[in-house]
C-alpha cells in the first residue's frame, strides 16, 4: 500500500440529472458517499494512533509487559507476598507512566540473563529493565535507551573467607555466575586463568551454592552482589575493587528508534525531577556500595 495522506476524503456528489441515461452509474454514485465515510473513518483511526510496532503504540491500550529480574534484592525482586520491588522496578514504572501506563496496567515478566534478547525479539515483553549492560554485541539484536545506571563488576565471598581478596586470587577456586552472563568468563580471561567456572540459572542459586560451600565465590556487577550482602551481612562480603564499567540500559525492539528516544527522554526526566536519586536511596541506600551519580544518557 502506498503512502496515505491524512486528509478529509469527502467526495462531491454530482447532480443526478447530469447522467439521465446511465441509471447504473447513478446508483453507484448514491452508494459512494457511504463508502467514502468508511474510508474516512479508517484513515482517521490510522492517522490518530501510534503504530503497534512502536512502544507508544503498544501502550495505547494502557497496558505494557515489562521484563525485570525476580531474584536481585534492591534492584528487581518478587517478594513472597507477590509484590515487585527494587530500583529497576521503580525505573520501569516511571518510564511506563510517561507512556500513560499506570502500575496496574503493567504485567511483569521474568527476564533472566540468557533470555533477554529473545524476549524482546519475540515480542514477549515491550521493554526490559533488568541490570542489562549495554554492549555492542547485544546492540546487534536489540536497541538500548539510557544508560540509567553505572556500576562495576565485583566478587562476593563468604564472610569468613580470608583467602580471596579479588579476581586475581581466584586461581584454583570455583567461581559462580549465571548462564548468559559474561562476568565469570571475563575473570578467567583477564585475572585467573585457572579458575573453575560454574553456571546457574539465577544469581540467587549462586548465592545458595556459595553459602553451602559448593562454590568459593560469585561474580557479577557489584550493585547486584551488594543486595545479597545487605540481606546477609553476617554471612557474605564483597572483596576487592570493581574492575569493569557496566552501563545499564533499557532494552527494546531494535527497529523502534522512536521508542528508544522517548525512553531516554523519560530517564532524563526522572533524573532531573529528583525521583531517580530517591529511588536509588530507597532501594540500595542500605547496601554496602557507594551510590553513584546518574550517568549521562547517550543512547537516544
Tell me the pLDDT tens digit for each residue of 250-264: 999 999 999 999 999
CATH of the domain at 177: 3.40.190.10
* 87 and 226, same domain (yes or no): no
Q: Identify the helix (H) or strand (E) that includes residue 243.
A: none
Indicate whether 202 belongs to any domain: yes
State the pLDDT confidence band at 51, using cuts at 50, 70 and 90. Answer: low
Average pLDDT of the segment spanning 255-282: 97
Q: Edge-to-edge strands of the sheet including 236-239?
A: 196-200, 174-178, 217-221, 153-158, 236-239
The residue from 212, 239, 266 where one domain ends is 239
The 3 state secondary structure assigned to 141-185 is CEEEEEEEEEECEEEEEECCCCCCCCHHHCCCCEEEEECCCCHHH
Q: What's residue 288's pLDDT?
A: 66
Indicate whether 235 belongs to any domain: yes
State the pLDDT confidence band at 22, using cuts at 50, 70 and 90. Answer: very low
Indicate whether 41 belongs to any domain: no
Q: What is the pLDDT of residues 73-112, one digit of tens each?
A: 999 999 999 999 999 999 999 999 999 999 999 999 999 9
Indicate whether 296 belongs to any domain: no
How many helices and strands, by DSSP H and E, does the chain display? 9, 13
68: Cβ contacts below 8 Å, ≥ 6 apart: 76, 84, 86, 88, 89, 92, 108, 109, 110, 111, 128, 129, 130
Please state whether beta strands 153-158 and 236-239 pair in parallel, antiparallel, or not at all (unpaired). Answer: antiparallel
Residue 104 has phi, psi (to 5 degrees) of -65, -20
State the pLDDT confidence band at 11, using cuts at 50, 70 and 90. Answer: very low
* 141 and 62, same domain (yes or no): yes
* 262 and 126, same domain (yes or no): yes
Among 160, 214, 153, residue whose Cα is nearest residue 186:
153
Average pLDDT of the segment spanning 231-247: 93
DSSP 15: P
Widest distance between CA atoms in the chain = 104
Helix pair angle (222-231, 275-284), 10° resolution: 50
CB atoms within 10 A of CB 267: 26
Residue 108 has phi, psi (to 5 degrees) of -90, 130
Indicate whether 7 belongs to any domain: no
- What residue has cell string 576487592? 240
* 127 and 274, same domain (yes or no): yes
Whole-angstrom Cα Rg for the chain: 27
Helix (H, G, I), strand (E, B) or coil at 129: coil
Judged by average pLDDT, the poorest of 7-21, 64-78, 213-227 is 7-21
- C-alpha 297/C-alpha 300 separation (Å) is 7
* 88 and 223, same domain (yes or no): no
* 229 and 166, same domain (yes or no): yes
**Set of cell numbers at residue 5:** 495522506
Q: Edge-to-edge strands of the sheet including 142-151?
A: 106-110, 64-68, 127-128, 246-253, 142-151
Total structural domains within the chain: 2
**Set of cell numbers at residue 240:** 576487592
* 203 and 159, same domain (yes or no): yes
Indicate whether 3 belongs to any domain: no
Indicate whether 108 belongs to any domain: yes
* 122 and 269, same domain (yes or no): yes
* 179 and 146, same domain (yes or no): no
Indicate whether 31 belongs to any domain: no
* 67 and 180, same domain (yes or no): no
* 133 and 171, same domain (yes or no): no
Q: What's residue 50's pLDDT?
A: 57
Residue-range definition of the domain harbouring residue 113: 55-150+246-284
Amino acid at each position: 500500500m502506498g503512502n496515505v495522506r491524512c486528509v478529509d476524503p469527502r467526495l462531491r456528489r454530482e447532480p443526478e440529472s447530469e447522467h439521465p441515461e446511465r441509471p447504473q452509474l447513478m446508483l453507484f454514485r448514491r452508494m459512494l458517499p457511504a463508502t467514502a465515510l468508511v474510508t474516512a473513518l479508517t484513515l482517521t483511526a490510522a492517522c490518530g494512533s501510534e503504530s503497534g510496532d512502536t512502544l507508544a503504540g503498544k501502550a495505547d491500550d494502557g497496558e505494557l509487559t515489562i521484563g525485570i529480574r525476580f531474584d536481585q534484592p534492591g534492584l528487581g525482586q518478587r517478594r513472597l507476598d507477590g509484590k515487585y520491588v527494587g530500583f529497576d522496578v521503580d525505573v520501569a514504572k516511571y518510564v511506563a507512566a510517561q507512556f500513560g501506563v499506570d502500575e496496574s496496567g503493567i504485567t511483569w515478566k521474568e527476564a533472566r540473563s540468557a533470555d533477554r534478547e529473545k524476549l524482546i525479539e519475540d515480542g514477549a515483553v515491550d521493554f526490559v529493565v533488568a541490570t542489562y549492560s549495554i554492549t555492542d554485541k547485544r546492540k546487534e539484536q536489540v536497541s538500548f535507551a539510557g544508560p540509567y545506571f553505572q556500576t562495576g563488576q565485583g566478587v562476593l565471598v563468604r564472610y569468613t573467607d580470608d583467602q580471596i581478596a579479588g579476581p586475581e586470587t581466584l586461581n584454583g577456586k570455583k567461581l559462580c555466575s549465571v548462564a548468559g552472563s559474561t562476568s565469570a568468563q571475563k575473570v578467567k580471561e583477564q585475572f585467573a586463568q585457572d579458575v573453575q567456572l560454574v553456571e546457574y540459572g539465577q544469581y540467587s542459586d549462586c548465592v545458595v551454592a556459595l553459602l553451602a560451600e559448593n562454590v568459593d565465590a560469585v561474580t557479577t556487577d557489584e550493585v547486584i552482589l551488594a543486595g545479597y550482602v545487605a540481606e546477609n551481612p553476617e554471612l557474605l562480603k564483597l572483596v576487592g575493587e570493581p574492575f569493569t564499567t557496566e552501563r545499564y540500559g533499557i532494552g527494546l525492539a531494535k527497529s523502534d528508534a522512536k521508542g528508544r528516544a522517548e525512553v531516554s527522554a523519560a530517564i532524563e526526566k526522572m533524573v532531573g525531577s529528583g525521583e531517580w536519586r530517591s529511588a536509588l536511596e530507597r532501594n540500595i541506600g542500605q547496601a554496602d556500595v557507594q551510590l553513584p551519580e546518574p550517568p549521562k544518557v547517550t543512547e537516544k
